[in-house]
Structures are given as structure tokens and as C-alpha cells.
């Protein structure tokens, strides 16, 4: 790996990742990653432990979060970097956490109605922090021998349109973008190639979107090129990351794809600029 390797999109056990924040940071340092973004779903709970370990192993930790939002049947993920905690932010995160818990219970009920024997405890015991998502349900189904793989659990039961699917709390991408901006954070449209709603990018930009996650494992060369061009034409930042969830939990590899340093420098400059505004009040 190059001397400066940058991965701005990862998950820990604070949400649906396999490694604790400390283990994730250690693993990143061992791989030669110099800048690591921790972007757990709907929670900032993993950040303090990750920060502390990052100081010890001397890598830069970029604090982040990933919100799941909806537009019609499309799911849009919005990353927020350097979000400042406040009552508004913490109230929303608590609401999202509670709704995620109710959502898991509802998924289990739907699975039970399909004749599958699964109890809330089978799922809830696996996660310490309590920001639950479908991956924890998938793993519980695997432990019970009901499916062979996480992928099979999604395809048979949990994916959109499958019989145990339950939608998220309805947050719109525009709401997430505003919230992140109000919290002095940097909103980035995560893996746009997965959502396939490029038609919405100009309207996100008008609402305060700061950038696109261009470098992403599932983006092919043509998509990467396309999003670089869109970012360029709308004066948006360019970010990238692996979306690593831990070995075996996702096919992604920590540190891949690498975000080229020149884009990170622009991102950092933008963050420092926001900092100056914060300092000036």
C-alpha cells in the first residue's frame, strides 16, 4: 500500500460492523492506512474509542456517520463528516436508534409469520450498542442454520420487496443534508452508483450537499469517471472508501479503493474552512 492510504467509509460494532472501533483502527494502522473515516449507521457512539486508539497508533481518524434516507422507492445514503453533537442531533439519533429497534422486532414478527423460529434475543444479544440493522438479523438467521450466508438472508427475506422487509424511519435526503449542515458537518452522497438516482444530485447540491463518494468498491471505471465529472461540474468534493464491515460481513477490503490524496486535501481544506466559521461563531 502507498505511503498515504485513505479510506473514508467504514463501519464498527457501534452499528453493523464486526470489529470494535478500537480493533478497526488497529487493523487500519496495520494495513498502512493513514486516514480512516468511521461512518457507522445512525450513530456517533464509536467515535470516542476510535479517536483514542487513532492517537495511540498515530493515524488520522475522520469522525463520520451514515444516514439511510428515502425518496419514493429509492434508498439514498448520506454520509456526514465532522458532525457536532447537539441536542437536536442527539435527539434524532436516539429516535433513529429506537425506531431501528422496533423495526427489528417487526422483521422478526414477519419471519415468525413465515414459520421461521427466531426470537428477539437471538438478534439483540449480538450487538452491544443497540444500533441494529438487517445484517444482525441475517447473522442470527445464519447462526440458526436457516440460511447459509448473509447474502441469502437478504435475497430470501430482508431485501427491499422480500417478505420480511421493513422500511426505515422516513428521513429524506434533503432533511439529512440540512441536519448535517446545521451541525457544521460535511454532507456527502454515499455510493451514488448503488442508488442510481443521479437525477437528484443537482437538487441535493442546492440543498447543501458538499460532495460525492466517487471511489467505491462497487463503482466500475465508467461510473467513477461519470461521478468525477458530475462532481467537477457542480463544484462538489470527491471522497471515497471501502464501506468495510469486517471480514466475512461484506465483500469489501479495508483501504480499498484508496482515495487519491489530492481529493482528500480538498476535503480537508473544506473541513478547516468550516472550522474557522465555527471558531468565529
Residues that bind ligand AMP (CB under 6 A): 16, 41, 68, 133-135, 150-151, 154, 159, 245
**Cβ contact 73:79 at 8 Å:** no
Considering CB distances under 5 to 8 angstroms, the limit depending on partner class, which of Zn ion, ligand AMP, Fe ion, none binds residue 134? ligand AMP
**What is the SS3 assignment for 18-82?**
CCCHHHHHHHHHHCCEEEEEEEEECCCCCHHHHHHHHHHHCCEEEEEEEEEEEECCEEEEEEEEC
| Integer Cα distance of 153 and 279 in angstroms | 48
| Integer Cα distance of 17 and 40 in angstroms | 8
Closest CA to 239 of 215, 222, 255, 218: 215
Q: H helices then E strands: how many in the chain?
A: 11, 7
**Cβ contact 237:231 at 8 Å:** yes
Minimum CB separation from ligand AMP for residue 135, in Å?
5
Minimum CB separation from ligand AMP for residue 102, in Å?
12
Beta pairing partners, 41:
66
Minimum CB separation from ligand AMP for residue 141, in Å?
12
Nearer to Fe ion, 7 or 16 (CB): 16
Rg for the chain (alpha carbons), in Å? Answer: 18
Considering CB distances under 5 to 8 angstroms, the limit depending on partner class, which of ligand AMP, Zn ion, Fe ion, none binds residue 181? none
Minimum CB separation from Fe ion for residue 235, in Å?
24
Minimum CB separation from Fe ion for residue 179, in Å?
17
Restricting to residues 233-252, name those near Zn ion by CB under 5 A: 243
Minimum CB separation from Zn ion for residue 55, in Å?
24
Considering CB distances under 5 to 8 angstroms, the limit depending on partner class, which of ligand AMP, Fe ion, Zn ion, none binds residue 154? ligand AMP
Minimum CB separation from ligand AMP for residue 104, in Å?
8
Q: Considering Cα of 244, then 250, then 252, then 253, what sign does the dihedral take? A: positive
Binding site residues, Fe ion, CB under 5 A: 16, 77, 190
Nearer to ligand AMP, 80 or 230 (CB): 80
Nearer to ligand AMP, 185 or 246 (CB): 246
**Cβ contact 186:270 at 8 Å:** yes
Q: Pick the piece of the chain touching Zn ion (CB under 5 A) from 63-71, 105-113, 127-135, 150-158.
A: 63-71
Q: 3-state DSSP call for residue 7?
A: strand
Binding-site size, Zn ion (CB under 5 A): 2
Considering CB distances under 5 to 8 angstroms, the limit depending on partner class, which of Fe ion, ligand AMP, Zn ion, none binds residue 246? none
Nearer to Fe ion, 34 or 127 (CB): 127
Binding site residues, Zn ion, CB under 5 A: 66, 243
Amino acid at each position: 500500500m502507498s505511503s498515504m492510504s485513505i479510506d473514508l467509509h467504514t463501519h464498527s460494532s457501534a452499528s453493523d460492523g464486526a470489529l470494535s472501533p478500537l480493533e478497526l483502527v488497529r487493523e487500519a494502522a496495520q494495513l498502512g492506512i493513514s486516514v480512516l473515516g468511521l461512518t457507522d449507521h445512525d450513530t456517533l457512539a464509536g467515535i470516542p474509542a476510535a479517536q483514542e486508539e487513532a492517537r495511540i497508533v498515530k493515524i488520522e481518524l475522520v469522525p463520520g456517520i451514515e444516514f439511510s434516507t428515502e425518496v419514493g422507492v429509492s434508498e439514498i445514503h448520506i454520509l456526514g463528516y465532522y458532525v457536532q453533537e447537539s441536542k437536536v442531533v442527539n435527539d434524532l439519533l436516539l429516535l433513529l436508534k429506537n425506531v431501528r429497534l422496533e423495526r427489528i422486532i417487526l422483521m422478526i414478527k414477519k419471519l415468525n409469520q413465515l414459520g421461521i423460529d427466531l426470537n428477539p434475543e437471538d438478534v439483540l444479544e449480538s450487538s452491544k450498542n443497540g444500533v441494529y440493522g438487517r445484517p444482525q438479523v441475517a447473522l442470527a438467521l445464519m447462526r440458526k442454520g436457516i440460511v447459509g450466508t448473509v447474502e441469502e438472508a437478504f435475497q430470501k427475506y430482508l431485501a427491499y420487496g422480500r417478505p420480511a422487509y421493513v422500511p426505515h424511519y422516513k428521513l429524506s435526503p434533503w432533511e439529512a443534508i440540512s441536519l448535517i449542515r446545521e451541525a457544521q458537518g460535511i454532507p456527502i452522497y454515499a455510493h451514488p452508483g448503488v442508488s442510481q438516482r443521479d437525477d437528484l444530485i443537482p437538487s441535493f447540491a442546492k440543498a447543501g450537499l458538499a460532495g460525492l463518494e466517487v471511489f467505491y468498491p462497487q463503482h466500475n471505471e465508467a461510473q467513477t469517471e461519470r461521478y468525477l465529472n458530475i462532481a467537477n461540474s457542480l463544484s462538489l468534493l470527491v471522497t471515497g472508501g471501502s464501506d468495510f464491515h469486517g471480514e466475512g460481513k461484506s465483500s469489501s477490503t479495508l483501504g480499498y479503493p484508496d482515495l487519491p490524496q489530492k481529493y482528500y486535501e480538498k476535503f480537508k481544506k473544506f473541513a478547516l474552512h468550516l472550522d474557522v466559521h465555527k471558531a468565529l461563531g
